[in-house]
Amino acid sequence: MKKHNFNSGPSILPQEVLQQAAEAILNFNGIGLSILEIGHRTSWFVDVIEEAKSLVKELMQLNDGYEVLFLHGGATTQFMQVPMNLLDDSSTAAYCDNGIWGSKAIKEAGLFGQVNIVASSKDKGYTYIPKDFIVPATNSYLHITTNNTVEGTQWHSFPQTEVPIVADMSSDIFSREMDFNRFALIYAGAQKNMGAAGVNLMVIRKDVLGKVQRKIPAIMDYRNHIEAGSLLNTPPVFAIYVALLTLRWIKKEGGLKEMERRANEKSNLLYSTIDSLPLFKCPIAKEDRSKMNAVFFIEDETLQNRFLDECKAHGMIGVKGYRTMGGIRVSMYNALPLESVQAFCNLATAFNNANQ
Is 123 an annotated catalytic residue?
Answer: no
Four-point Cα dihedral 320, 324, 326, 330, nearest 10: -40
Give me the catalytic one of 53, 97, 101, 266: 101
Is 249 an annotated catalytic residue?
Answer: no
Give me the catalytic one of 53, 192, 266, 320: 192
Dist CA 290 CA 149 (whole Å): 8
Contact 266, 332 (CB under 8 A): yes
Is 89 an annotated catalytic residue?
Answer: no
Give me the catalytic one of 168, 172, 221, 288: 168
Q: Which positions are catalytic?
A: 101, 168, 192
